[in-house]
Structure 1
Amino acid sequence: MTFAQQATRRRAWLALLAATFTLAAAAPPAAPHAAEEIAALKARIAELERRMPAPELGQQMLDLQLRHDRLWWAGHAGNWNLAYFMVGELGETLRGIEASNGDAAELQPDRLAEVMPAMMNPAVRAVQQALEKKDPAAFAKAYDGLSAACTACHQRAGVEFLHIQRPRTPLLDNLRYQPAAPARGVRP
């Protein structure tokens, strides 16, 4: 076989392979039974999500209280990075409460998903702004405003005996609140 014949044969094989891949790519999607399986799986997921209980509101509030506590101690120590992280976690916890317990009975006929953001978001923003300034006095004032917003929300829910204030001791004492010292030779 000559070189020209080999080249022609190679081109023919390449053309055949290209045609095969083109046909495979143009083939219809998976068989109809696969679509039925996908639909059945989607229905099963929806059913499992429907059956899954919402997190208990009291447990979520304890998580919120932990974030609130840690936020105070981080800001009080001047650990602005940790405090900013904690206010982010606090905001995330608030959004989780709104999403999973938005229709909590405590606020009926109002919706927790509407009342809580209106009461809490301005206070959270004020704390974030104080943290950006790295101003201890502004932080303390904004933190007290956040605590007052928590208490006001509790009053609106009819649980006015839940009065939130600055913590006197850390809820947990296994987190160091003092900022880490910069490494040698590194300037802040």
Structure 2
Amino acid sequence: MKKAYLILFSALLTFSCSQEEKSSAVGPDGWLEGTNEEKLDEVAHQLGGFSRTMVEVSYRYSELYWAGMDENWDYADHQVEHIIEAMEDGLKRRPSRKASSESFMEETLPMMEDIIQKKDKEEFIKGFQMLTSACNACHAKEGESFIMIQTPENRTSPVRF
């Protein structure tokens, strides 16, 4: 019996080592082509770097502001949760940004969560100003101080409370 397992193991090992990776297109209309490694590289490229993270954070930053102005505290909390998630995902793709974002992630966003729990609009406005300053400080740390964040002036989302 041991001999049969050894022969089977040896055959599987030989087969798997000599097997060439097949390249087949996947996805709608087969847009994702190449070896598995090439496909993973393309998926990573499609996910993008930190600039795509900032697009989502920008949207949620605006929604957070309007949620606070409407005193829609559940929606405000929802936005902070998604800012955290977007930042965490972006930092996985661009770990070199972690040092610059550390105080934002560990101090500023938890502060906003605490303020939202108080359900106090005046407190929220002060906290949001600190959040905005923290965004700009992070941009400066990354050498991108030309990206200056300001309090939103116009609503772009149809979400209302």
TM-score bucket (shorter structure): 0.7 to 0.9
| Structure-1 separation of matches of 2:112 and 2:20 | 47
Asked if the contact 1:120–1:149 (Cα under 8 Å) also holds between the matched residues in 2, the reply is no
Secondary structure of the structure 2 residue equivalent to 1:166: coil
Which of residues 49, 64, 72 in structure 1 aligns to 2:40? 49
- Structure 1 residue aligned with 2:29: none
Q: Please give the per-residue CA displacement for 1:131-183, whole angstroms capped at 9, x wherever unaligned.
A: 1111112211111111111000111111212111211111x23222x2xxxxx
| Structure-2 separation of matches of 1:50 and 1:147 | 34
Give me the CA root mean square deviation. 2.6
Q: TM-score, normalised by structure 2?
A: 0.72
Which of residues 114, 133, 142 in structure 2 aligns to 1:148? 133
Letter in 1 for 2:116: L
| Structure-1 separation of matches of 2:54 and 2:103 | 17
Equivalent residues, number: 136
| Unaligned stretches of 5+ residues in structure 1 | 1-27, 103-110, 179-188
Q: Please give the per-residue CA displacement for 1:48-98, whole angstroms capped at 9, x wherever unaligned.
A: 434532514322211110000000000110000000001101111111111
Shift >3 Å, 4+ stretches: 31-37, 44-48
Task: Please show how residues 43-82 of structure 1 align to structure 2 within 5 Å.
Answer: 48-51=39-42, 52-53=44-45, 54-82=47-75
Q: TM-score, normalised by structure 1?
A: 0.63
Letter in 2 for 1:153: C
- Structure 2 residue aligned with 1:161: 146
How many percent of aligned residue pairs carry the same amino acid?
A: 22
Q: 1:45 to 1:133 in 2, by over 3 A?
A: farther
Q: 1:49 to 1:114 in 2, by over 3 A?
A: farther
Q: Between Structure 1 and Structure 2, whose CA radius of gyration is higher?
A: 1
Asked if the contact 1:154–1:162 (Cα under 8 Å) also holds between the matched residues in 2, the reply is yes
1:134 aligns with 2:157: no
Q: Please give the per-residue CA displacement for 1:86-111, whole angstroms capped at 9, x wherever unaligned.
A: 11011111111111122xxxxxxxx3
TM-fit CA distance, 1:40: 8.3
Asked if the contact 1:120–1:146 (Cα under 8 Å) also holds between the matched residues in 2, the reply is no
TM-fit CA distance, 1:47: 5.8
| Unaligned stretches of 5+ residues in structure 2 | 22-34
Greater fraction of residues in helix = 2
Asked if the contact 2:49–2:90 (Cα under 8 Å) also holds between the matched residues in 1, the reply is no
